Amino acid sequence: MTKRNIIGFFAVIVLISLNISGCNSCKNRYESPGKLKTQKNDTIPVIKEKTAVLEKVTFFIENSGSMFGFVNQANEFKNSLVGLAYLPEFDKVLKSFYFINGTSNPLRNSGIQINYFSNDPEVFKNRLNQKSFNIGDVRFSDLNKMFEIALDSAKDNQISVLVSDCVYDVGEESDPLTALRIEINKTQQAFRNRLEKENIQTLIIKAGSRFDGLYYYASKKGSKQIINKQRPFYIMFFGKTELLNKSLTEQSIGNKIEGLFETARFFINDEKSIPYQIVPSIDIKGEFKQDFKDKFKLINAKPLKGEFQFAIAADFSSLSFSDSYLTSTANYDCPYSNFSVVKVVKISKRIPGVEGTHLITVFTDKNPVGDLEIVLKNVAPGWVMETDADNEDLVDSTHTFGFKFLTDAISEAYEYKNNGRNPATFKILISK
């Protein structure tokens, strides 16, 4: 072999070695799971989104004169609030307790009164009495300003709580319902302003307790009466949806609220994908086959005696609605189709081949062929309408004057932000 050939041979060997080295370098840059390597072998860690961790809970207790009847005896009001203050999910976080009353109306010469009294649930428990409540300006309760303050306190990884009888103080008005509507517009604006800044969920708990004290009429000038009976009160939580869903489940609430209670949740729908599947063996009317190429398609669909029906299984475990909400057919819709939701049941026993938390049955007595959408809506639950009273002659254990105005204002603020999005939508294609 000549000298020139020997040099050429070694040059080829060097080039092959360099190519292999380069390919291995490329392979290493892309094959390491969870890491990305640069050409200099510097590692850049993949940044994962952090899970929200609760850091603080702030309690605001309305202590206007209308609330005194809840704290002059041992009762459900005290037991429920103390139970929530000692909620296990709140054990390792900071807590602050405030009384709140007064008014922001300059004509009343008061101002909102916020009085901090402790960060200790044990002190909080001992302050639930009339003597401790008699601080600030107990003549007034500016519910709108209270909402603003509580909403503003629910920032970052913090939850705020407002406890109130939710009776609007409309002042010396000759037309209280008109005055109430004006106040409600302010409530809606307070929520809309807050939702522009952050995705905040609102959880309203309606509970009941023995009440022995003065009831101050919002709709009758200067009128009041002594009552000794059960009365509703409300605990409202504000905070990130992730925090409220984790800390305040139906089970955790039920373990601490004494007596019967109802819940309503309002939140911004993030269009998360809710897993679902067709269940071809349950609640069938008519005939169809499931398309093997498309698991969300039915083919050869034929009604039987003019009826067509089938069920889907949906996994609602990521949603925060109560089971009573999820099983109410009134909370579902099948827009632009001939179908309606006729039954929703929680899956209590395992169904072979089916994964989900609830079975949703849809029915039509018309032509089933077409695009079907099954929508879970986020609407105020039925107990809201049952709670509302448009006059105060009905002072009892169930009703609160103007309550629907309040929940409508909150609901409309969230609807505006949601812009037509729903918590869950399921799509099925049905063909002949």
* pLDDT tens, per residue, the chain with 432 residues: 554 454 454 444 444 444 444 444 433 333 333 333 334 444 444 444 567 899 999 999 999 999 999 999 999 999 999 999 999 999 999 999 999 999 887 766 678 999 999 999 999 999 999 999 999 999 999 999 999 999 999 999 999 999 999 998 776 556 777 888 888 899 999 999 999 998 899 999 999 999 999 999 887 777 899 999 999 999 999 999 999 999 998 889 999 999 999 999 999 987 678 999 999 989 999 999 999 899 999 999 999 999 999 999 999 998 888 888 999 999 999 999 999 999 999 999 999 989 999 999 999 999 999 999 999 998 888 899 999 998 888 899 999 998 998 999 999 999 999 998 899 999 999 999
Query: What's the confidence (pLDDT) of residue 46?
Result: 44
d(CA 270, CA 240): 12
The encoded tokens of residue 195 equal: 């939702």
What is the dihedral angle through the alpha carbons of 254, 256, 259, 261, rounded to the nearest 10 degrees?
-50
State the Cα–Cα distance between residues 252 and 355, nearest whole angstrom: 25
Instruction: Tell me, rounded to whole angstroms, the distance of Cα 108 from its chain centroid.
Output: 36
Size of the chain in residues: 432
* Whole-angstrom distance, CA of residue 223 vs CA of residue 191: 31
Distance CA 188, CA 199 (A): 16
Rounded Cα distance between 167 and 164, Å, is: 8
Whole-number pLDDT of residue 180: 83
Structure tokens at 168: 């609007």
Strand partners, 101: 113
Helix (H) or strand (E) holding 290: strand 287-290
For residue 143, the surrounding DSSP H or E stretch is: helix 143-153
Q: Compute how many other C-beta atoms are within 10 angstroms of the C-beta atom of residue 55.
A: 13
Residues 116 and 58 sit within 8 Å (Cβ to Cβ): no
**SS3 of residue 47 by DSSP:** coil
- Alpha carbon distances (Å) from 179 to 56, 175, 220, 368, 389: 36, 6, 12, 50, 15
pLDDT at 318: 87
Residue 380 sits at φ, ψ, to 5 deg, of -65, 130
All domains in the chain, ordered by first residue: 56-270+381-418 (no CATH), 276-379+422-430 (2.60.40)
Q: How far is CA 109 from the centre of its chain?
A: 37
For residue 69, give the nearest of 241, 307, 230, 199 by alpha carbon.
230
Strand partners, 100: 62, 114
Confidence at residue 173, expressed as pLDDT on a 0 to 100 scale: 59
Assigned token pair, 120: 């200790």
- Looking from the CA of 48 toward its CB, the CA atoms found within 13 Å total 5
DSSP 70: G
Q: Whose structure tokens read 């008109």? A: 178
**Tell me, what's the pLDDT at 311?**
97
What per-residue confidence (pLDDT) applies to 248?
93
What is the Cβ-side half-sphere exposure of residue 42, based on CA atoms within 13 angstroms? 3
Nearest to 376 by CA among 428, 308, 314: 314
* Residue 220: per-residue pLDDT: 77
- Name residues whose C-beta falls within 8 Å of residue 207's C-beta, 6 or more positions apart in sequence: 76, 77, 80, 232, 233, 234, 235, 257, 258, 259, 260, 261
Q: What is the pLDDT of residue 107?
A: 67
Give the C-alpha separation, 46 to 36, whole Å. Answer: 8
Question: Residue 221 pairs with which residues in a beta bridge?
Answer: none
